Structure 1
Amino acid sequence: MRPIHEAHVEQPGLAVVEVAAADDATAFAVQDLLAKHCAIAPADRTVREPGEPGVRLRMFLDLRQQPARRPSR
């Protein structure tokens, strides 16, 4: 995955969350759960690292804003 830059977390209330999960469905379920509680820039795909188990999913959270209404998967 690409590095996290200072701009991603430069203000209070901004966060980068990386989920490690056994499969895509679990990773996206965690993303959907977080999206119900805060504004996020959702990921559209997971990443598999060669030689490592499972998948990773990175999203950017803004705790200062209300979550956007999005259709369920």
Structure 2
Amino acid sequence: MKVRVNGNDHQLAESATVAEVLTLLAAPSTGIAVALDGAVVPRASWAETRLREGSVVEVLTAVQGG
């Protein structure tokens, strides 16, 4: 299925989850947040939150600043 991740299209397995997208991106294990179709996905739900054809995933990294 086709999913948009941080503005780029990716072909993923039909059973893909948010956690699998993070593995694909080699995302760090801390300091990130994930939104699926505009809604924040709690970290505890990443492994069980399945994606659908056309899903939009945004992975955001926390940045320190002043």
What TM-score do you get using the length of structure 1 for normalisation? Answer: 0.32
Rg (Cα) greater in structure? 1
Which structure has the highest strand share of the two?
2
What TM-score do you get using the length of structure 2 for normalisation? Answer: 0.33
